Amino acid sequence: MNLLPEPLIFNVSSPGAQGCSLPESDVPPSPLPQDLTRKHLGLPEVDELTVVRHFTRLSQKNFSIDTNFYPLGSCTMKYNPKANEVAASHSGWKSLHPLIGDRYSQGALELVFRLQESLAEIGGFSAVSLQPAAGAHGELAGVLIIRDYLESIGQGQRKTMLIPDSAHGTNPASCTMAGFATRTVPSGNDGNIDIKALEAMLNDEVAGIMVTNPNTLGLFERNIAKIAKMIHDAGGLVYGDGANMNALTGVFKPGKSGIDVMHFNLHKTFSTPHGGGGPGSGMVAVVSKLADFLPGPVAVKQGKKFALAMPPASIGRMKAFYGNFGVLVRAYAYIRMLGRDGLRRVAENSVLNANYLRAKLERHYPLKYKKACMHEFVAMGNIAPGIRTLDIAKRLIDYGFHPPTIYFPLIVPEALMIEPTETESKAVLDAFVEAMLSIAQEAKTKPELLNAAPTTTPVGRLDEVAAARCPVLCYRP
Ligand SMILES: *Cc1c(COP(=O)(O)O)cnc(C)c1O
């Protein structure tokens, strides 16, 4: 507990206070020209310990998976074993120059090659490129592959991509960047793609469909093989958004269900911490007829040696060098550590944990689609008069939990999208349930508590639009 007040470092400035003492100068002073010197620096004058305390205090205000439960739906905020950090920070990897050439980087190339093979196997695909740096970046790579493939077979007039109304916003954005027009496919009453509506949208301008499976409602798209056949028969290709792969590893291979190209988020499923805007990987996997179009370079094996090669009809580079290499090391270490059975248990436990929470909460937080879920589920937060999902989310902060994703997907009013992940214990899940039930009680008896939350943070409710659009990033006295 903090007994002392938390002063802003600027307010404790005292003239002459210093963090270090320099030795007397033994060279003659050489003053800068007057017009180049600053009259007033505006920096606080403080001692070293004050600076250390200031930054340490700031760092403790961060919320992270290493501090508490973080059920942010669709983001797979799971614990990533520290052993993989150790592997990624090995000096042999860390100090390797990206231009060193094949001869001195055989180990790194072998790792890239083996990871390509492992991910192709996990997804049921033929070939993989590890270039893209994020999920959205992988989507862009994937739809560019579709564009170039269609052009190569004389179907360049296909310029429409179909996207379900439950999709992540990055899907239509990636299509637009690749020059496609998008059309929205409605969901049926069961939360899955409305097959009849889809059928009516098919024509010779359709380039393909982007399917997220399980979708952002946490529901498995049972008709995926049928949908893929409809699209293929109509001359299009099927893009799979693999951000939710955590529900499927070792259980289901999307590449065997009719999906032609898919990205995986290594920073969600395969052990790279994320959420702070750090490096990620949205590697793309394809069926054999699309392999020549992959972004490159990719790692290849020639006899006993490994090398880099550009696929013959490559869409080109998505990124400088070979992708975010540290992320690749973590993913490889993670896959080898777990093996096939371990990866299967990841998926099974992520689904079990989500269903445990769903079953405990659904009486208090209603579901729009009342059925078993995959790795996440979407509840609704308008549970009492004058209470919105935003109030529930903010009150959870007072209970020490990171709020779930809110107001997404757009097709569920007052959405609360909860993804516990497989790495949380029953004790943590129970503590979260207890907090949620207690908030549901407060919503009925003391709604003003929720409307005023959070009350335990340095700042309460922000104008989030203004905070994003006009951020104030420096101290203004
Ligand atoms: C996270 C996510 C994306 C985008 O991934 P980024 O790495 O954030 O660009 C796309 N689709 C779905 C369903 C996601 O959850």
pLDDT string in tens for the chain (477-residue length)? 444 556 677 778 888 888 888 899 999 988 889 888 888 777 888 999 989 988 888 888 888 898 999 999 999 999 999 999 999 999 999 999 999 999 999 999 999 999 999 999 999 999 999 999 999 999 999 999 999 999 999 999 999 999 999 999 999 999 999 999 999 999 999 999 999 999 999 999 999 999 999 999 999 999 999 999 999 999 999 999 999 999 999 999 999 999 999 999 999 999 998 876 678 999 999 999 999 999 999 999 999 999 999 999 999 999 988 889 999 999 999 999 999 999 999 999 999 999 999 999 999 999 999 999 999 999 999 999 999 999 999 999 999 999 999 999 999 999 999 999 999 999 999 999 999 999 999 999 999 999 999 999 888 888 888 988 998 887 776
Ligand 1 near 136 CB (within 6 A): yes
* Interval between CA 395 and ligand 1 midpoint (Å): 26
Q: How far is CA 309 from CA 128, 202, 238, 312, 317, in A?
A: 13, 37, 26, 9, 12
Q: Are residues 9 and 116 in the same domain?
A: no
pLDDT per residue over 244-290, tens digit each? 999 999 999 999 999 999 999 999 999 998 876 678 999 999 999 99
> For ligand 1, is residue 405 a contact (CB within 6 Å)?
no
Q: Based on the domain organization, do 177 and 271 belong to the same domain? A: yes
Beta-bridge partners for 241: 212, 263
Shared-domain flag, residues 6 and 126: no
117 and 17 housed in the same domain: no
pLDDT at position 368 is 94
User: How far apart (Å, rounded) are the C-alpha atoms in residues 239 and 289?
Assistant: 14
- Does a structural domain hold residue 71? no
Q: Is 30 inside any structural domain? A: no
| Largest Cα–Cα separation, the chain | 85
CA-CA distance, 47 to 45, in Å (whole number)? 7
CA of 173 to the centre of ligand 1 (A): 12
Nearest CA-CA partner of 344 in 246, 264, 249: 249
Could you tell me if residue 66 is inside a domain? no
pTM to 2 decimal places: 0.91
Within a domain: 72? no
Which one of 338, 368, 396 terminates a domain? 338
Residue nearest to atom 8 of ligand 1 (CA): 135
Alpha carbon nearest to ligand 1 atom 3, residue: 135
Residues 310, 406 share a domain: no
Task: Quote the pLDDT of residue 90.
Answer: 96
Q: Do residues 42 and 151 both lie within one domain?
A: no
Would you give the distance in Å from CA 413 to the centre of its chain?
23
- Burial label for 279, CB within 10 Å (0-12, 13-18, 19+), is middle
Q: With respect to residue 232, please indicate whether it lies within any of the assigned structural domains.
A: yes
Same domain, 228 and 253: yes
Instruction: State the CATH number of the domain containing residue 461.
Output: 3.90.1150.10
CA of 136 to the centre of ligand 1 (A): 6
Cα–Cα distance between 123 and 213 in angstroms, integer? 12
Identify the pLDDT of residue 1.
Answer: 40
Pocket of ligand 1 contains residue 299 by CB under 6 Å: no
Per-residue model confidence as pLDDT tens digits over 211-236:
999 999 999 999 999 999 999 999 99
- Ligand 1 mean position, distance from CA 468 (Å): 19
Asked whether residue 270 falls in the same domain as residue 128, the answer is yes
| Torsional class of 308: left (φ above 0), alpha (ψ -120 to 50), beta (otherwise) | beta
Tell me, what's the pLDDT at 276?
A: 66
| pLDDT tens by residue, 386-412 | 999 999 999 999 999 999 999 999 999
Domain that holds residue 45: 1-25+37-61
Q: Is 72 helix (H, G, I), strand (E, B) or coil?
A: strand
pLDDT of residue 437: 98
How many folded domains does the chain comprise? 3
Query: Is-contact 272 327, C-beta < 8 A?
Result: yes
Residues 52 and 160 in one domain: no
pLDDT, position 43: 81
Average pLDDT over all residues of the chain: 94
Domain match, 236 and 150 both:
yes
| Nearest partner of 276 among 77, 423, 138, judged by Cα | 77
Cα separation, 72 vs 300, whole angstroms: 37
Distance CA 80, CA 276 (A): 14
* CATH number, domain with residue 136: 3.40.640.10
Give domain status of residue 472, yes or no. Answer: no
Residue 38: its pLDDT value, please? 82
Separation of alpha carbons 323 and 113, rounded Å: 13
Q: Does 281 lie in the same domain as 133? A: yes
Indicate whether 198 and 327 sit together in one domain: yes
The number of C-alpha atoms within 13 Å of 216 and in the hemisphere containing its C-beta is 28
